[in-house]
A and B are shown apart, each in its own frame.
Chain A
Amino acid sequence: MRKLFGIALAAGAAFALGGIAINRGEPINALWILAAGACIYTLGYRFYAAWITATVLSADATRATPAERLDNGRDFVPTQRWVVFGHHFAAIAGPGPLIGPTLAAQFGYLPGTLWILIGSVLGGCAQDIVVLFLSTRRDGRTLGHMAREELGPVGGFASLFGTFAIMIILIAVLGLVVVNAMKHSPWATSTVFATIPVAMLVGFYMRGIRPGRVLEASLIGVALLLFSVIGGGWIDQQPTLRSLFDHEGPALAWFVMGYGFLAAILPVWLLLAPRDYLSTFLKLGTVALLAVAILITHPELKLPALTRFVDGSGPIFAGNLFPFVFITIACGAISGFHALVASGTTPKLLKSEADLRLVGYGSMLLESCVAIMAVIAAALLDPGVYFAINSPVAAIGGSPEAAVATITAWGFPVSVEQMHALAREVGEKTLFARTGGAPSLAVGMASILSGVFGARLIAIWYHFAIMFEAVFILTTLDAGTRVGRFMLQDLLGQLWRPLARTSWYPSVILSSGLVVGAWGYFLYVGVIDPYGGINILWPLFGIANQMLAGIALAISTAMLVKTGRARFAWVTAAPLAWLALVTTTAAWQKLSSDNPKIGFLSGASDLAAKLAAGVLPADKAAVAGKLIFNQRLDAVLTAFFLCVLWAVILDMLNVAWKVRSGAPLRPSPEAPYQRSRFVEAANA
């Protein structure tokens, strides 16, 4: 029966993918992709995940989890499996799986779709479930802690430093996305600004008015957020109010930095906690709504399966299909960041090891599904419109006429009238060169949602989508800045003791300032870069995130080998090999390519030569010095990421070799077996 089911699913997946392959010349329906996804996910969950859980990990439902053994009613709480699933999904799914696939759609919808489907089932989900399992067996220890204990100081340092570096780059690139979405858009800006007082109001409500009534406060907050979307539309109509929210990029960048700094030093109850609750509700609700709306509207995909930009000449970011599609789409296929959550709060909630498959593997499948929805939202746009929104001014020209001519010459016809009509419909002044992915995703989401709820609301849906993305991003930004601050204080405390005190204000301000300064620098340079900055920062982020995934997979592989599972170590070793190949190739091209659009160093030299020759226009010459320095700094960072990744891989190989040759190893501190009370209760 099981076999028949599997064969039917495999046939279904093959049929759906075949349908996609046959209809390559003409627009296909999103249902083909959804069908292929559903079959592949079910195959992965039903067979691969079941096999990993039972055979590789030998998960034991009778074994008490840390949540049961260390139950303190606070962070260790045995929780119902679907609730842990929702918690874990909300924690791993941020703006990443929405933005990466949107940008990668410049290659066409097919490469992104295949990588998201295959990468998640064989890579990302396997990583998440293995890390979750390992942490659950070790009292919910963090990845860094496990790396130190199982590999030694090199692994420990690498995961600590890797986490810190990726956090900085991640916040910078997300900040850039939100700044680009707000630039000269009073409706978007006022709505995003409004989310801050709304969060504070909710914070006050939970603290003072009705202490601890979190659900009630969150619902009021969500209602206020929806109201602020409508209110933004009203502000957009008022000439004087409108000008208050109409800003240039650099001003908005300073605002985002100020916000991050305040969020890091203000008490948690005022801003961070209420915003996190709001963002979780918004996330779960919108993902469900979008999924239903895509099923109902099942739009035609207008983007070709493959575009001419697979040759590396893409306007959104430069670089060949291999390796750059695998770098651009990190979250949604495999993301190292998940390993931090899978070894953070989630293992402390798991009630039984029998829930590992749903929570570890299933949550990542759902995130992959979100990434597929982002692909659909990008691919249903007219390709001309997609490129007009996402290409930077420097690639398509400053005037609408020039932009339209360039994009039409690429073979994606689009007209100025069409773009103006679309901008008017969604309540924007212009949609040309709105880089970063957020506006284009919002247009796609708005057209899906208004397909269900009526076209008259399209402007509201567009700004709802912008608000939805901005809330995600600001939540990652403020929580990330705070975590970065703690890490830095920990590090600085090694130099001078008092700096480690997390409530000593001079140290708090110093470390918060340093963290905000670090990501603020990358954000600011991205904003003043005429190419939009995304083309430089996003690949750097992708390399950093895949490096962290590589570190997590290397640690997992070493631990599988150490615990007598060497036969099955390929479950994490195979994705590791692929990531090592992809990340190394991408990093190498970023370092050594002669093409100034791809290589950081050649980009810097090219700009320096142009500056020296005096061929740059005045506005570009003014910022050229900063851009040159930035590209060289990016090159140093890339080289550093590469070294860290390979140091951990060599460390892992060293452990594997020791196991093989029987050399003494660090002991593996797995918590001893203890029988679960829940099982006895169920049998009695």
Chain B
Amino acid sequence: MPSGTSWLARALEWSSSGARGLGTVLRDFFAGAAGTDAYRSYLAHHRIHHPELTPLTRETFFRETLASRWDGVRRCC
């Protein structure tokens, strides 16, 4: 491969990995802020604190936590 192309390829690879990294950061931020990754954090908690127990399935977790999350003041004007 001529050196010119490899420079281009490196730049492309660098920017695409940068974009991927940025994508991950953005996804984590949006998902965390909206609360869509609650199950993932529940699993993380479970792994550390109750490794001997089987965690709830995604479906049961979703059902059980849903009601309690909409009972208080969650949104302002």
Contact = CB atoms under 8 A, between A and B. Distances in A.
Contact of B74 (A91, A211, A218): A91
A437 to B, nearest CB: 13
A90 B34 contact: yes
B74 A341 contact: yes
Interface string A328-340: 0011000101101
Interface in B3-42: 27-39, 41-42
Contact of A75 (B32, B62, B68): B68
B75 A73 contact: no
B74 A344 contact: yes
Given A83-B32, A87-B35, A218-B34, A212 B73 contact: no
A142 B72 CA distance: 10
Nearest to A74: B65
A89 B74 CA distance: 11
Interface stretch (A29-37, A276-284, A460-468, A506-514): A276-284
Given A87-B32, A268-B66, A73 B74 contact: no
B41 A215 contact: no
A331 B42 CA distance: 33
A546 interface: no
Given A75-B68, A79-B32, A206-B62, A479 B45 contact: no
Contacts of A215: 27, 31, 36-37
A480 B70 CA distance: 10
Contacts of A340: 73, 76
A95 interface: yes
A211 B59 CA distance: 5
A280 B41 CA distance: 19
B34 A476 contact: no
B62 to A, nearest CB: 4
Interface string A496-539: 00000000000000000000000000000000000000000000
Contacts of A335: 76-77
Interface string A446-486: 00000000000000000000000000000110011011001
Given A86-B30, A215-B31, A340-B73, A268 B67 contact: yes
A482 B58 contact: no
Interface in A71-127: 71-75, 77, 79-80, 82-83, 85-87, 89-96
Main secondary structure of the interface of A (DSSP, over half): helix
Contacts of B70: 268, 272-273, 276, 479, 482
Contacts of B32: 79-80, 83, 86-87
A170 interface: yes
Interface in A205-219: 206-207, 211-215, 218
Contacts of B29: 82-83, 86
Contact of B45 (A73, A91, A92, A284): A73
A77 B66 contact: no
Contacts of B45: 71-73, 77
A193 interface: no
A286 B72 CA distance: 26
Count class of interface residues, chain B: 35 or more
Interface in A288-347: 330-331, 335, 337-338, 340-341, 344-345
Contacts of A345: 72, 74
Given A77-B45, A479-B70, A170 B36 contact: no
Contacts of A170: 77
A95 B77 contact: yes
Nearest to A343: B73
Contact of A73 (B31, B46, B72): B46
A174 B42 contact: no
Contact of A337 (B46, B49, B63, B77): B77
A211 B58 contact: yes
A338 B66 CA distance: 23
A185 interface: no
Contact of A83 (B33, B63, B71): B33
Contacts of A207: 62
Contacts of B73: 163, 337, 340-341, 344, 479, 483
A445 B73 CA distance: 29
A269 interface: yes
Contact of A277 (B28, B36, B39, B68): B36
A228 interface: no
Nearest to B33: A86
Which 9 pairs across A and B sit closest by C-beta, in order of nearness? A86-B33, A73-B45, A83-B32, A96-B77, A211-B59, A212-B62, A212-B58, A214-B36, A280-B34
Interface of B: 27-39, 41-42, 44-46, 49, 58-59, 61-63, 65-77
Given A211-B59, A212-B61, 5 more contacts: A77-B41, A83-B28, A83-B32, A277-B34, A330-B77
